[in-house]
């Protein structure tokens, strides 16, 4: 019966993961996968006969309360931080399982089990410390820019080699101190590995850490011989790695480049607005442009998330639709600070899934678009990625907003984006620059629309 219930949990994991592939079914997929995990946890505790039903119910109640409070209190703009913390706790849980087995058997393992214990400790601890560095960057507790120091790659390589050597010693010699040393080295490696990565590379980092948390869970499953944990961890590991690859492709960068290049100068100095002529716009100018358009495509970026302007964008879109304007949203895969960040924010504002266009859907529509309204995006709409072979972002797939008849950019200043380069889009004849906070700007445009 235990194995059959584990099989049922695995089926729920697989169906849940499949449903997560589309926005319409994602909520149901989340419920299915969570139900599978609930089933697996309860079956494990009952089968092991190590706790009473009262303890199980108390644990479920405690976890439910904590989850409900988090869901109610965490703003959607802080979702990347929450995901990073979840990844960290997942890695820590896997490492703790391995440590518990280490204490129970005093490091006397079969060789295969010793390998999985060492891997669970290494991957789980790296995931834990690395995820909370990512959390600190996203939360603004440490600078979001790449924090580089001399010899960083050499130090990290040495720590990685040291962890492998300690793991080999632990397995071959049944040495408990070596296993504990892996934890210490992996903790430092996780911190130093994520510190040099800029905040705008967090979509790739978060998906990679998510993958690592799954691999660590699978290793913990091998340690304790739990098939549901092995299957669930393998699914998370594989899905997370595929997503990591897709995020890298969306930036035309390899995983190695993201992890080791220290790319970008996020938060760099602003470019003086007087250096090049721009077409400054007022809210009234933008209201006229969008109010008399037939099709408007809104392009959200991290600036929209920071300003919490998703509701203002929806309100403006609703007002335009009431005037007969077709309004859609173009979503770049790496816009924001986690995979799907813009989709999540717009879903919170009750924007219909049908209006969210991906890169391949958006670009063919821009030539037939009257106004492309850019809200807080920069590098993902920079035509240098398409036209300038000397640009650091050359080859990165972009939203080709410059092909629209008119472009409106809502931005605080002409400061460069994460890549630290200027954006020629800002100086085109058909581009209007509305310098303001995203939320305030959209609300002002909405107010002016009533007079158009």
Length of the chain measured in residues: 452
Q: CB within 8 A of 140, min separation 6: which ones?
A: none
Buried b (16+ CB within 10 A) or exposed e, 28-66: ebeebbeebbebbbbbbbeeeeeeeeeeeeeeeeeeeee
Q: Give the integer Cα–Cα distance in Å for 87 and 213.
A: 6
List the beta bridge partners of residue 40: none
**HSE value, Cβ hemisphere, 13 Å, CA-based, for 297:** 29
Backbone angles phi, psi at 273, to 5 degrees: -70, -15
Cα(45)–Cα(40) distance, rounded to whole angstroms?
Answer: 9
Region of 420 (left: φ > 0; alpha: ψ -120 to 50; beta: rest) is left
Question: Which one from 201, 379, 402, 422 is the annotated catalytic residue?
Answer: 379
Angle, helix 176-194 to helix 152-173, in steps of 10 degrees:
160
Task: State yes or no: is 370 an active-site residue.
Answer: no
Buried b (16+ CB within 10 A) or exposed e, 121-141: bbbbbbbbbbbbbbbbbbeee
User: Active-site residues: which are they?
Assistant: 379
């Amino acid at each position: 019966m235990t194995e059959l219930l584990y099989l049922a949990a695995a089926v729920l994991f697989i169906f849940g993961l499949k449903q997560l592939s589309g926005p319409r079914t994602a909520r149901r997929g989340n419920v299915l996968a969570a139900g599978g995990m609930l089933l697996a946890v309860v079956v494990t505790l009952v089968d092991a006969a190590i706790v009473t039903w009262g303890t199980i119910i108390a644990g479920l109640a405690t976890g439910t309360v904590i989850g409900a409070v988090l869901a109610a209190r965490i703003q959607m703009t802080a979702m990347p931080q929450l995901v990073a913390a979840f990844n960290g706790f997942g890695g820590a849980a896997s490492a703790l399982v391995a440590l518990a087995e280490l204490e129970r058997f005093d490091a006397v393992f079969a060789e295969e089990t010793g390998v999985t214990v060492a891997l669970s400790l290494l991957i789980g601890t790296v995931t834990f410390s690395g995820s909370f560095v990512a959390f600190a960057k996203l939360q603004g507790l440490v600078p979001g820019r790449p924090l580089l120091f001399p010899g960083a790659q050499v130090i990290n390589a040495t720590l990685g080699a040291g962890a492998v050597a300690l793991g080999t010693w632990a397995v071959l010699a049944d040495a408990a101190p070596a296993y504990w040393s892996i934890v210490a080295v992996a903790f430092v490696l996780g911190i130093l590995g994520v510190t040099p990565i800029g905040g705008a590379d967090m979509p790739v980092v978060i998906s990679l850490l998510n993958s690592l948390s799954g691999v660590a869970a699978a290793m913990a499953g091998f340690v304790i011989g739990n098939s549901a944990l092995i299957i669930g961890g393998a699914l998370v590991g594989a899905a997370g790695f595929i997503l990591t690859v897709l995020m890298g492709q969306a930036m035309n960068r390899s995983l190695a480049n993201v992890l080791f290049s220290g790319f970008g100068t996020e938060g760099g100095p602003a470019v003086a607005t007087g250096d090049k002529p721009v077409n400054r716009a007022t809210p009234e100018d933008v209201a006229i442009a969008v109010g008399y358009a037939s099709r408007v495509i809104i392009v959200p970026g991290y600036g929209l998330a920071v300003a919490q302007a998703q509701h203002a964008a929806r309100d403006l879109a609703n007002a335009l639709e009431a005037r007969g304007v077709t309004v859609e949203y173009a979503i770049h895969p790496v816009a924001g600070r986690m995979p799907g960040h813009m989709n999540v924010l717009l879903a919170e504002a009750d924007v219909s899934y049908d209006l969210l266009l991906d890169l391949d859907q958006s670009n063919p529509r821009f030539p037939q678009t009257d106004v492309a309204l850019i809200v807080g995006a920069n590098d993902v709409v920079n035509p240098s990625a398409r036209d300038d072979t000397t640009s650091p972002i050359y080859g990165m797939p972009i939203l080709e907003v410059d092909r629209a008849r008119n472009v409106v950019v809502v931005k605080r200043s002409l400061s460069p984006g994460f890549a630290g380069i200027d954006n020629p889009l800002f100086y085109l004849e058909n581009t209007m620059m509305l310098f303001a906070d995203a939320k305030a700007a959209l609300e002002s445009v909405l107010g002016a629309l009533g007079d158009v």
